[in-house]
């Protein structure tokens, strides 16, 4: 029996990058309709990329089940595109080209006055035997920093009947959010420069977390990781934070954390890293930071 899905599955926030394993094409189509309905109600641009169904069949399905879909499609608010024209354009998968196409589409949506974009992708395209599909899992993880500006949300739909267990598990780990697993939300900050994190990090979303830290490691400036809403991290996640700070020699990394996360980092000796400062709020009502050693 399929577990009850969280509310964010049908109505994701901008910035959410979700892995959605499904049991059948029927389940996939029903979820697509629910998500499209919610996104249109929020005045978001909707981009559906289909592989198992033809674009015409997907249009007909959505028109029959989503109030106002026909008008949205006519107005350009909702689009359905075959994956072969984007992910597999030119007979190969190019991750950089694909992400650039999404970036262009989101910018166009904002220019048209939409409140961000929702992207829904039938990941069955990755089963095609074409060059580049072997980079699928690296692509899924590396895409995460793109969501840090909270301009779009994406739902990557993986049919359990098509993907082997190892690939599906790795795909889930490359996403910060998967129903039934730990949830990680994040967004880029500018003052101070860095990243805000909320939720939990463990072995169910670790590759996504690592990709976010990799992006911070390349910032040529001091950064602050605001982890005060990060309720727990496992030891491996703590090691990844320490490695990120260590790689940023010459630039300071500050971690704002609650006591649970700070204890994990100090247990690992992270405070001994010269460019890393661990700061803990005095209490839940006073967000001022107290410097930890280091």
pLDDT digits (tens, 9 = 90+) for 81-98: 999 999 999 999 999 999
Secondary element (H or E) of residue 208: helix 206-217
Secondary structure class of 34 (helix, strand, coil): helix
Please determine whether the domains at 12-173 and 184-291 fall in the same fold group of CATH.
no
Looking at residue 195, its pLDDT comes to: 97
pLDDT tens track for 144-197: 999 999 999 999 999 999 999 999 999 999 999 999 999 999 999 999 999 999
pLDDT tens track for 50-78: 999 999 999 999 999 999 999 999 999 99
pLDDT tens track for 20-52: 999 999 999 999 999 999 999 999 999 999 999
Nearby residues of 191 by Cβ (< 8 Å), 6 or more positions away: none
Looking at residue 293, its pLDDT comes to: 33
pLDDT tens track for 99-111: 999 999 999 999 9
- The CATH label, of 3.40.50.150, 3.40.1690.10, 3.40.50.300, 1.10.287.110, for the domain at 12-173 is 3.40.50.300
pTM of the model: 0.92
> Which stretches does DSSP call E strand in the chain?
17-22, 45-50, 78-82, 117-122, 152-159, 184-190, 193-201, 223-233, 253-257, 276-281, 289-291
Tokens of 58: 């997907």
% pLDDT > 70, the chain: 93
How distant is the alpha carbon of residue 290 from its chain centre? 31
The residue extents of the domains of the chain are 12-173, 184-291
- For domain 184-291, the question of CATH label 1.25.40.10 is answered with no
Beta-bridged to residue 119, according to DSSP, are 47, 154
Whether the pLDDT of residue 290 is over 50: the answer is no
Whether the pLDDT of residue 292 is over 60: the answer is no
């Amino acid at each position: 029996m399929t577990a009850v899905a969280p509310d964010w599955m049908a109505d994701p926030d901008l910035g959410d990058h979700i892995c959605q394993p499904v049991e059948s094409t029927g389940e996939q189509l029903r979820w697509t309709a629910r998500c499209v309905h919610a996104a249109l109600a929020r005045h978001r641009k909707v981009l559906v990329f289909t592989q198992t169904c033809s674009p015409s069949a997907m249009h007909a399905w959505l028109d029959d089940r989503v109030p106002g879909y026909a008008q949205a499609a006519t107005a350009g608010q909702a689009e359905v595109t075959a994956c072969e024209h984007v992910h597999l354009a030119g007979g190969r998968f190019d991750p950089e080209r694909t992400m650039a196409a999404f970036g262009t589409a989101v910018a166009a949506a904002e220019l048209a006055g939409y409140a961000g974009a929702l992207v829904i992708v039938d990941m069955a395209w990755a089963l095609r035997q074409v060059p580049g599909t072997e980079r699928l899992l690296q692509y899924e993880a590396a895409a995460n920093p793109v969501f840090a500006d909270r301009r779009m949300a994406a739902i990557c739909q993986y049919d359990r009947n098509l993907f082997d267990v190892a690939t599906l598990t790795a795909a889930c780990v490359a996403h910060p959010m998967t129903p039934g697993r730990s949830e990680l939300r994040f967004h880029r900050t500018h003052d101070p420069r860095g990243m805000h994190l909320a939720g939990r990090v463990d072995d169910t979303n670790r590759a996504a977390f690592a990709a976010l830290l990799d992006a911070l490691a390349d910032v040529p400036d001091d950064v602050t990781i605001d982890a005060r809403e990060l309720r727990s991290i496992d030891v491996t996640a703590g090691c990844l934070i320490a490695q990120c700070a260590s790689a940023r020699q010459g630039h300071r990394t500050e971690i704002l954390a609650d006591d649970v996360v700070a204890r994990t980092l100090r247990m690992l000796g992270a405070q001994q890293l010269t460019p890393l400062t661990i700061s803990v709020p005095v209490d839940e009502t006073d967000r001022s930071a107290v410097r930890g050693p280091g």
